[in-house]
Amino acid sequence: MIKKLINLYLYFGYLHEVFHYIPARMFGIWAELHKTYVLHDSDIPSWKHIVITLCPAFVDSILVVLCVLGWVKNAKTPADHRIWAGWFLISVSWLGTCLGDFRDFVYFCRFGKWLDEV
């Protein structure tokens, strides 16, 4: 059971990193995808760095809102409530993988530089 939970967490982490990689490549920035991190060129404008950093949280926030709206609008039986609650918990779990990104963004807002530049 523990192995399955670890694999599930690693899956969320990899999915999280994919959503860093996609905007970096869309901006034409060199990026290299790994299981637990994405390497990309750090010599880019700040706004692009902010988009790359917060993209997974933005995508997951949309997923959380869609889950809540679907739950409220479509759940009629107890089984429906359990299904929507499960999707909601999955999306909130994914949002938990974004805590490091929020920390990096707050550090940038306070000190004007990214943690990887320190």
For 30-83, give the DSSP string: -EEE-SS-EEE-S-S-HHHHHHHHHHHHHHHHHHHHHHHHHHHHH--SHHHHHH
Q: Do 33 and 17 contact (CB within 8 A), yes or no?
A: yes
In which residue ranges of the chain is pLDDT below 70?
1, 4-9, 117-118
Q: What is the pLDDT of residue 115?
A: 79
Domain spans of the chain, in order of start: 2-117
Cα-atom radius of gyration of the chain, to the nearest Å? Answer: 17
Q: What is the pLDDT of residue 24?
A: 93
The pLDDT tens digits for 9-19 are 677 778 888 88
Q: What is the pLDDT of residue 73?
A: 82
User: What per-residue string of b and e applies to 89-117 under the rule 16 or more CB within 10 Å gives b?
Assistant: ebbeebbebbeebeebbeebeeeeebeee
Q: What is the pLDDT of residue 80?
A: 81
Q: What is the pLDDT of residue 44?
A: 87
Q: What is the pLDDT of residue 86?
A: 82
